[in-house]
């Protein structure tokens, strides 16, 4: 099966990036969001970035640029297919932004769902997509915590449902097999990820938090414990993580970037899945949330950003 | 006070690194281990010949401890063995000697329970080939001991982080094992390979190197012992050594030093 058309559902930060990478990868893209304003903004920004070369200067993109300089070997072999400037221009102009889900997905070969991390919202979207999309269409979810099998059961095509977890602007894409995901679905998603200039890693099973967030979260959990018990300060813990453990940014700095509400939601979701007392959300995070300190975006989290 | 003679106990990965660093900075070093084999291996891996006049390697701990200004314990984190060692050192060392433990997991109070001069016991966790040294600054370690050890670490070109409280695993090893235990469970459940775990960490979570390669470089016997010690000290289930790790060790796959761990490594001697 040839994959040509990609539909992205949800035009938040991640959805917008995914749409941009798919265009760069040579795909015809449609992006849908419930907000007309957001869809317009995203389409305009992709025009600016891809046609006028306006650089992306936000913290995450700058961090990736620094990583490229420091560790060029991580990026070896990652590239988008050769497409001519004319073809890129055509694909950017052909990109469709809409608030109508049916319009966006009805001729798609792959749909990537990237809406809020809310299971009933995602389940509803998977039901709709299953009814609206052609029978061959693959339904992928960018969820960072929800198991794809819980979305796949909402559809009549569990073999064509798969997890496709992007991590901000980082090169990794975790491709997660659900209990019924077929090999050809995995192959198609792996190819799409490569064409987007990403490094796909296929996870053979669903796992709470998948791999990257689970492992780094294991360190984060201890970092919170150390702070709670006043063994070390935020700055010291970040310093130790960078100097001794190979972090590029310390765990608290990263949590402030990502948003403490997002981290907390992820911890809650993992805890619900494992029921393991060791995975209980950090009480420190709950305190921060109660005070409205969500990290960089509110000016205060573990660090002061204002 | 000035440190000239250093006695380094334990000729494993950390002991060997410390021996080289101390020799490079002009100290006189006696390397001490109960195993002649370990000493010979360590000696063969110490690069420059000009150091040999300042280096002695011996199985006789008393002989070198009684002349040392600084004794560095770089033995494995076995709680009972450390208690015996610190009790012996307490009676062997002259009054002025500083007794430093590089333990990655054992808190100061555990060591001090067996000594009569706790004011000279200090913990400085030299964390392998990284610049990090975690120093535990707390009672009853004397101020002069703290200052001397901090100065020593800085002279070796390290970056000390001084913690005013300690806990099993201190900060560094606790965070490290917190990651490793999850990584091992992922490998055990065959969700992903060690190679894929490392890729997820570098390309997904922006680490400068993957955790499983780090384990291999430190030595899987070290990682296992650290888990075991932390499990004994805390009773917390996540620190219970994982089956995957036990199997590697049983098969003699200790990481870089044995040529294979989670990855295959080129020969250590020919590489250096």
What average pLDDT is seen over chain A? 94
Task: Please give the average per-residue pLDDT across B66-92, as a whole number.
Answer: 96
* Residue of chain B minimizing CA distance to A278: B238
Do A17 and A164 sit in the same domain of this protein? yes
Chain A CB contacts of B209 below 8 Å: 246
ipTM of this model?
A: 0.94
Kindly state the tokens that stand for B259: 């040529």
Q: Read off the DSSP letter of residue A76.
A: T
- Mean pLDDT (whole number) for B118-129: 96
Identify whether A285 is part of a domain.
Answer: yes
A274 part of a folded domain = yes
Residues of B whose CB is below 8 A from A224: none
> Are B192 and A211 inside 8 Å of each other by CB?
yes
* A262 is a domain residue: yes
B268 falls in which pLDDT band (50, 70, 90)? low
Nearest CA in chain B to A237: B171
Per-residue tokens: A163 = 């997890």
Tens-place pLDDT, residues A100-137: 999 999 999 999 999 998 899 999 999 999 999 999 99
Which chain B residues touch A278 with a CB distance below 8 Å?
236-238
Where helices occur in chain A by DSSP H, the ranges are: 13-24, 36-52, 59-70, 85-94, 101-105, 119-132, 148-152, 183-195, 212-228, 234-245, 251-258, 260-274, 283-290
Question: CA A42, CA A37: separation in Å to the nearest integer?
Answer: 9
A111 and A15 belong to one structural domain: yes
Q: Are residues A61 and A191 in the same domain?
A: yes
Cα B102 off chain centre by: 5
Q: Is A249 in Cβ contact with B179 (below 8 Å)?
A: no
B45-61 tens-digit pLDDT:
877 777 888 999 999 99
A224 part of a folded domain? yes
* A13 and A122 fall within a common domain: yes
- A106 and A20 belong to one structural domain: yes
- Asked whether residue A195 falls in the same domain as residue A217, the answer is no
How far is the alpha carbon of A143 from chain B, nearest alpha carbon, in Å?
15
Kindly report the CA angle at A185 between A182 and A186, in degrees rounded to 5?
90
A245 to B206: CB separation less than 8 angstroms, yes or no: no
Give the pLDDT score at A305.
93
By percentage, how much of chain B surpasses pLDDT 90? 86
In this complex, which of B171, B189, B209 lies closest to A205 when CB atoms are compared?
B189
Please state, for a pLDDT cut of 70, what percent of chain B lies above it.
98
A88 and A29 Cβ atoms separated by less than 8 Å: no
Domain's final residue, options A203, A224, A245? A203
| CATH 3.40.50.720 describes domain B5-163 | yes
- Tokens representing residue A176 in the block: 């997660």
How many Å separate Cα B51 from the centre of its chain? 22
Q: What's residue B269's pLDDT?
A: 56
Cα-only R_g, chain A: 20
Name the token pair of A92: 């950017």
Query: With an 8 Å Cβ cutoff, are B175 and A232 in contact?
Result: no
Residue A17 pLDDT > 90, yes or no? yes
Q: Is A211 on the interface with B (CB under 8 A)?
A: yes
Is residue A304 in some structural domain?
Answer: no
Weakest mean pLDDT among A11-25, A69-83, A146-160, A247-261: A69-83
Report yes or no: B264 and B213 within 8 Å, Cβ to Cβ: no
Residue A270: which CATH number? 1.10.1040.10
Task: Count structural domains, chain A.
Answer: 2
A187 and A150 within one domain: yes
Contact at CB, A223 and B175, closer than 8 angstroms: yes
User: Is A66 within a domain?
Assistant: yes
Our CA-based measurement puts residue A222 at a distance from the nearest CA of chain B, in whole angstroms, of 5
CB contact under 8 A, B179 and A219: yes
Round to whole Å and give the CA distance between A159 and A164: 14
A278 at interface of B, judged by CB pairs closer than 8 A: yes
Instruction: State the nearest Cα–Cα gap between B94 and chain A, in angstroms.
Output: 32
Indicate yes or no: CB of B236 within 8 angstroms of CB of A245. Answer: no
Q: Which of A158, A174, A203 is the last residue of a domain?
A: A203
Distance (Å, whole) CA B19 – CA B23: 6
Q: Does residue A162 share a domain with residue A130?
A: yes
**Minimum mean pLDDT range among A262-271, B219-228, B245-254:** A262-271
- Residue B1's pLDDT band, with cuts at 50, 70 and 90, is low
**Interface residue A77 vs chain B (CB under 8 A):** no
Closest listed residue to residue A112, CA positions, set A221, A213, A217, A188: A188
Domain that holds residue A35: 5-203
Residue B30, strand partner residues: B7, B56
Residue A273 has pLDDT above 50, yes or no: yes
What phi and psi, each to the nearest 5 degrees, are found at residue B47? -65, -60
User: What is the band of B271 on the pLDDT scale with cuts at 50, 70, 90?
Assistant: very low
**Same domain, yes or no, for A155 and A99?**
yes
Average pLDDT over residues B83-96: 96
Percent of chain A with pLDDT over 90: 80
Residues A147, A269, single domain; the answer is no
- Say if residue A184 is in the same domain as residue A277: no
Question: Could you state, in order of their start, the residue ranges of all structural domains in chain B?
Answer: 5-163, 172-261
User: Are B163 and A231 a contacting pair at CB < 8 A?
Assistant: yes
Residue A225 and residue A193 share a domain? no
| A303 falls within a domain | no
Q: Contacts of residue B181 in chain A, CB cutoff 8 Å? A: 218
A109: domain CATH number is: 3.40.50.720
In the CATH hierarchy, which fold is given to the domain comprising B172-261?
1.10.1040
Last residue of a domain, one of A176, A203, A230: A203
Encoded tokens for A188: 């198609």
């Amino acid at each position: 099966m040839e994959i040509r058309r990609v539909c992205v559902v949800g035009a938040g930060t991640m959805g917008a990036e995914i749409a941009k990478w798919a265009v760069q990868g040579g795909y015809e893209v449609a992006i849908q969001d419930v907000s007309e304003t957001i869809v317009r903004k995203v389409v305009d920004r992709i025009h600016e970035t891809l046609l006028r070369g306006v650089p992306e200067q936000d913290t995450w993109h700058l961090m990736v640029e620094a990583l490229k300089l420091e560790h060029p070997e991580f990026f070896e072999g990652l590239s988008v297919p050769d497409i001519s400037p004319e073809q890129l221009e055509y694909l950017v102009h052909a990109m469709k932004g809409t608030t109508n889900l049916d319009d966006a997905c009805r001729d798609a070969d792959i749909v990537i769902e990237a809406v809020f991390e809310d299971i009933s919202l995602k389940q509803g979207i998977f039901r709709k997509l299953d009814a609206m999309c052609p029978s061959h269409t693959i339904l992928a979810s960018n969820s960072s915590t929800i198991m794809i099998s819980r979305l796949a059961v909402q559809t009549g095509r569990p073999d064509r449902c798969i997890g496709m977890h992007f991590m901000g602007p980082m090169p990794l894409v975790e491709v997660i097999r659900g209990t019924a995901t077929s090999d050809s679905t995995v192959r198609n998603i792996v190819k799409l990820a490569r064409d987007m200039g990403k490094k796909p890693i296929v996870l053979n099973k669903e796992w709470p938090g998948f791999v990257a967030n689970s492992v780094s979260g294991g360190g984060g959990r201890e970092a919170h414990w150390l702070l709670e018990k006043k063994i070390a300060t935020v700055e010291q813990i970040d310093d130790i993580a960078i100097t001794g453990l190979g972090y590029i940014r310390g765990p608290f700095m990263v949590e402030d970037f990502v948003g403490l509400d997002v981290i907390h939601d992820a911890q809650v979701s993992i805890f619900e899945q494992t029921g393991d007392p060791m995975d209980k959300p950090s009480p420190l995070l709950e305190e921060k949330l109660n005070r409205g300190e969500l990290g960089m975006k509110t000016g205060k989290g573990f660090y002061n950003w204002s | 006070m000035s440190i000239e003679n250093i006695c380094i106990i334990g000729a494993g990965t950390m002991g060997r690194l410390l021996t080289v660093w101390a020799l490079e900075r002009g100290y006189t070093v006696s390397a001490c281990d109960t195993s002649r084999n370990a000493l010979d291996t360590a000696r063969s891996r110490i690069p420059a010949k000009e150091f040999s006049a300042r280096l002695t390697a011996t199985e006789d701990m008393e002989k070198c401890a009684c002349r040392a200004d600084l004794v560095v314990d770089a033995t494995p984190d076995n709680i009972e063995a450390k208690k015996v060692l610190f009790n012996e050192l307490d009676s062997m060392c002259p009054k002025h000697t500083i007794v430093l433990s590089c333990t990655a997991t054992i808190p100061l109070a555990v060591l001090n329970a067996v000594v009569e001069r706790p004011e000279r016991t200090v913990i400085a966790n030299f964390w392998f080939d990284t610049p990090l040294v975690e120093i535990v600054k707390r009672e009853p370690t004397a101020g002069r001991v703290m200052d001397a050890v901090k100065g020593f670490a800085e002279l070796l070109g390290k970056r000390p982080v001084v913690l005013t409280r300690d806990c099993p695993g201190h900060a560094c090893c606790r965070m490290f094992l917190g990651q490793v235990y999850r990584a091992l469970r992922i490998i055990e459940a065959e969700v992903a390979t060690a190679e894929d775990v490392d890729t997820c960490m570098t390309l997904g979570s922006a680490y400068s190197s993957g955790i499983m390669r780090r384990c291999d470089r430190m030595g899987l016997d070290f990682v296992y012992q650290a888990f075991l010690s932390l499990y004994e000290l805390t009773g917390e289930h996540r620190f219970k050594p994982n089956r995957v790790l036990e199997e590697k060790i049983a098969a003699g796959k200790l990481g870089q030093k044995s040529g294979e761990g989670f990855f295959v490594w080129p020969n250590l001697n020919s590489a250096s």
